[in-house]
Structure 1
Amino acid sequence: MQIDVELFTVKKRFPLTISYGTTTQTTNVWVKISEDGIEGWGEASPFSAGGNPQTTEIIQESLQKIAPTLEKFHPSQRQEIEQILIKANLPSSTQAAIDIALHDWLGKRVGLPLWQMWGLNKNAIAPTSVTIGINTPEAAKQRVRKWLEYADIKVLKVKLGSPEGIEADKKMFLAVIEEASVQEVFVDANGGWSLADAIKMGNWLGGMGIKYIEQPLAKGRETELLELKQQQPLPIFVDESCFHSIDIPKLRNYVDGVNIKLMKSGGLTEAMRMIHTARACGLQVMFGCYSDSVLTNTAAAQLSPLADYLDLDSHLNLINDPFCGAILHEGCLCPNDLPGLGVEYRAVSA
C-alpha cells in the first residue's frame, strides 16, 4: 500500500483557553493510504496532554520513518499493522492517523459507512457538548451567545481550573449559567484543582444540575480521586489520566467514567477496546477531541452510538476546516451514509 502525508493548518474562530494553556491554531497531518484504486484517509493532530507533547514535527517524522515498513502490507491486514505500530513505539496520534485511514479504506472497499459495518444505531447518538474556555465572566457569556447563534446547541462543557483560583471559576461558571439555555452542562478542570479545591467545587457545583466533573486533579494524582469521590456528590470522569484500555481497570474504583480520544488511544481499534473495557468495569464512556478537524470527529462519530456523552466540537470552532463529513443536527453530530468515514475534501482559503 502507498502512504502519502500532507500538512494542513487549521485556525480557531475563538482561541481556547484551558488550565494549562491557550490554543489559536494547529498544524495537523493528513494521512492517505492507497491500494486497489481506493484511498483511505486519517488525521493526526498534535496535543500535549499527559506530559509527553506530540508535536506536528514529531508526528511527521514518525510517519516518514514507518511508511517504508508498512508499504509491503495490504490495508486489510490491520492486526499485523497494529502490532508493527505498537512495536515501533510510535506517537499515539501517528497510530491514530494510520488506523483511521485503514478503517476508511475498508469501509470504502465494502461500500458501507463504518457505523453500519459495526451494526450501530445512529438514533442512539447523544448530543455533543460545545466548549466554553476559561475567560472573564463577560467574555464567557459572549462565547455562549455565539455558540447558541451558530447552531442548535443542547449541551455546554465549561472549562474551569483557572490559574486565578476557584473564586474566578465560580464567577465565570455563574455567568455561563446565566446566559445559557441548554439541556445539560458538563465541567472540565483539566487537572487544574488541588484536592481541597476539587472537593469544594464538587459540592458547590453539585446543586446546580451538573452531570459530571472531568479531570478534577492532575495526571499522577489518581489515588486522591477516591477521597474526592467520597467527599462530593458529582460523578468523576478522567481524560489526561486515561490513554489506553490498560489504564481503565486501575481507575475503576476511583472514577465513574473515562474520556476516550482517538489521538490518545491510537485510533478506532483501541477506542473500541476502551469502550468494552470501560463497560466491563462498570464505567461510563464519553468521546472527546483536541484540535481535530471534521475528519477525526467524523471518525469518532462513527462509534458514538456506544458513548454516554460526547464532546466532539473542535471542528465547529475552525474557520478553515478542509473537510466535510458528519453534520450537526438537533445538537447531535451525525455521520452520513457514504462509505467509510464519509468524509470529503473541500477547498478553503487559508
Structure 2
Amino acid sequence: MDIHWHPFTVHKRIPLTISRGTSHGSTNIWLRLQQDGIEGWGEATSFSIGERGQSSDAIATDLASLAPALKPLHPLDGQSLEDILSEAGVGSATRAALDIARHDWLGKRAGLPLWQLWGLDRRRIGPTSVTIGISSPAAASQRLQDWLQQGPIHAVKVKLGSPDGIVADQAMLSALRSALPATTKVSVDANGGWSLPQALTMAQWLADQGVSYLEQPLAPGWEADLYPLHQASPLPLFVDESCFTSQDIPPLADRVHGINIKLMKSGGLSEALRMIHTARACGLQVMFGCYSDSSLANTALAQLSPLATHLDLDSHLNLKDDPFSGADFHDGHLIPNSQPGLGLSYHAPHP
C-alpha cells in the first residue's frame, strides 16, 4: 500500500485556554492510504502532554521512515501493520493516522460505514459536550452564548484549573451555571491543574453545583493521590492525560470511575476499541475526547460513539477552516452518516 501525507493548518474561531496554556490552532497531518483503486483517509493531530507530546514535524518524520516498510503490505494486513509500528516505536498520533486510514479503506472496500460494520446502533449516541475554556466569568458567559448560536446544546464541558486559583474557578463556573438550563449536563475538566487538597475541596463544591463528573483533577504522575480523592469524592472521576492505552487502565481501576479515550493518545480506532472493552471489564465508564482535531478524526471516533457514556467531540465545531466534513452535528449530537468508511469529503478552505 502507498501512503501520502500533507500538513494542513487549522485555526480556532475562539482560542481555547486550559491549565497548561492557550491554543489558537494546530498544524495536523492528512494521511492518504492507497490500494486497489481505493483511498483511505487518516489524520494525525499534534498535542502536548509533557514528554509524551508529539509535533507535526515528528509525525511527518515518522511517516517518511515508515513508508518503505509499509509498501509491501495490504490494508487487510492489520496484524502485520501493528507489528511494524510497534517495532518502529513511532508516536501514537502517527499510529492513529495510519489506523484511521486503514479503517476508512476497509469500510470503503466493504461498501459500508464503520459503525455498521461493527454492528452499532446510532440511536444510542448521546449528546456531545461543547467546551468552554478558562476565562473570566463574563468571557465564559459570552462563550456559552457563542455556542448556543450554533444550535441546541445539551452538554457543556468547563475547563478549570485557573492559575488564579480555585476561587477564580468557582466564580467562572457559577456564572455559567446560572446561564444554563437546568437540564444541561455540565462536566468539569481541570487538566491536572489542582493539588490534592484543592481537588478535594472542588469535588464537593462542584457536586453541590450539580456537575455530573470531574475529569483529570490531578496532574499525570500523581496517580497515587487519585486513590484518596476517589474515596472522598462525591463526583465520578475520569482520567485523560493519565491514560493513553489499554495497558494504563487496570492500575487505575480502583481510583477512578472512567477514562477519556482520544485517538491521538490511543494510536487509532483499533486500540480505542481495546480500551473500551478493557475499561468495561474493569467496571469503568468510557468517554471520548479530542485535541485540535478536524472533522476527519472526530468523524472517525464518532463511529464508536454508541459505546461511550460521555462524548466530547467538539473541536472541529470551533474551527474557522476545517477542510473536511463528515459526521453531522444535529440537535447537540454528532452522528456519523451512512456513506462507506468514514463518510468524509474534502473541500479546500478559503484563503
Residue 198 (structure 2) pairs with residue 197 (structure 1): yes
Answer with 324-333 or 276-285: which moved more: 324-333
Residue 50 of structure 1 deviates from its aligned partner by: 4.7
Residue 336 (structure 2) pairs with residue 335 (structure 1): yes
Residue 61 of structure 1 deviates from its aligned partner by: 0.7
Distance in 2 (alpha carbons) for counterparts of 1:31 and 1:261: 18
Distance in 2 (alpha carbons) for counterparts of 1:339 and 1:37: 15
Task: Note the alpha carbon deviations across 1:38-67, whole angstroms, 9 max, x for none.
Answer: 000000000012532200110111111111
Residue 180 of structure 1 deviates from its aligned partner by: 1.9
Residue 75 of structure 1 deviates from its aligned partner by: 0.8
Equivalent residue number for residue 161 of structure 1? 161
Task: Note the alpha carbon deviations across 1:238-264, whole angstroms, 9 max, x for none.
Answer: 000000000000000000000000000
Residue 73 (structure 2) pairs with residue 70 (structure 1): no
Residues 93-132 of structure 1: pairs in structure 2 closer than 5 A: 93-132=93-132
Equivalent residue number for residue 174 of structure 1? 174
Equivalent residue number for residue 90 of structure 1? 90
Q: How many residues align?
A: 350
Distance in 1 (alpha carbons) for counterparts of 2:51 and 2:254: 24
Distance in 2 (alpha carbons) for counterparts of 1:326 and 1:4: 24
Distance in 1 (alpha carbons) for counterparts of 2:93 and 2:133: 23
SS at match of 1:144: helix
Residues 31-42 of structure 1: pairs in structure 2 closer than 5 A: 31-42=31-42
Counterpart residue identity of residue 344, structure 1: S
Distance in 1 (alpha carbons) for counterparts of 2:50 and 2:108: 34
Distance in 2 (alpha carbons) for counterparts of 1:232 and 1:41: 42
Equivalent residue number for residue 321 of structure 2? 320
Change (3 A) 1:50 1:243: farther
Equivalent residue number for residue 349 of structure 2? 348
8 Å CA contact 1:50, 1:240 repeated in 2:
no
Equivalent residue number for residue 46 of structure 1? 46
Q: Unaligned stretches of 5+ in structure 2? A: none
Distance in 2 (alpha carbons) for counterparts of 1:50 and 1:184: 30
Q: Unaligned stretches of 5+ in structure 1? A: none
Q: So what's the TM-score if we normalise by structure 2? A: 0.99
Task: Note the alpha carbon deviations across 1:259-283, whole angstroms, 9 max, x for none.
Answer: 0000000000000000000000000
Distance in 2 (alpha carbons) for counterparts of 1:143 and 1:69: 47
Equivalent residue number for residue 256 of structure 2? 255
Distance in 1 (alpha carbons) for counterparts of 2:106 and 2:240: 29
Distance in 1 (alpha carbons) for counterparts of 2:211 and 2:137: 18
8 Å CA contact 1:291, 1:315 repeated in 2:
yes
Distance in 1 (alpha carbons) for counterparts of 2:92 and 2:52: 11
Counterpart residue identity of residue 16, structure 2: L
Residue 207 of structure 1 deviates from its aligned partner by: 1.4
Distance in 1 (alpha carbons) for counterparts of 2:33 and 2:142: 42
SS at match of 1:150: coil
Distance in 1 (alpha carbons) for counterparts of 2:44 and 2:101: 10
Residues 296-307 of structure 1: pairs in structure 2 closer than 5 A: 296-307=297-308
Task: Note the alpha carbon deviations across 1:204-253, whole angstroms, 9 max, x for none.
Answer: 01112211000000000111111011222000000000000000000000
SS at match of 2:270: helix
SS at match of 2:39: strand
Task: Note the alpha carbon deviations across 1:97-153, whole angstroms, 9 max, x for none.
Answer: 000000000000010000000000000001000000000110000000000111211
Distance in 1 (alpha carbons) for counterparts of 2:176 and 2:6: 39
Equivalent residue number for residue 143 of structure 1? 143
Distance in 1 (alpha carbons) for counterparts of 2:258 and 2:187: 13
Task: Note the alpha carbon deviations across 1:147-176, whole angstroms, 9 max, x for none.
Answer: 011121110000000011000000011111
Residues 168-247 of structure 1: pairs in structure 2 closer than 5 A: 168-181=168-181, 183-247=184-248
SS at match of 2:348: coil
Counterpart residue identity of residue 204, structure 1: W
Answer with 295-304 or 42-51: which moved more: 42-51
Q: So what's the TM-score if we normalise by structure 1? A: 0.99
Give aligned-pair identity as a percent.
Answer: 59
RMSD over equivalenced CA pairs, Å? 0.8
Equivalent residue number for residue 7 of structure 1? 7
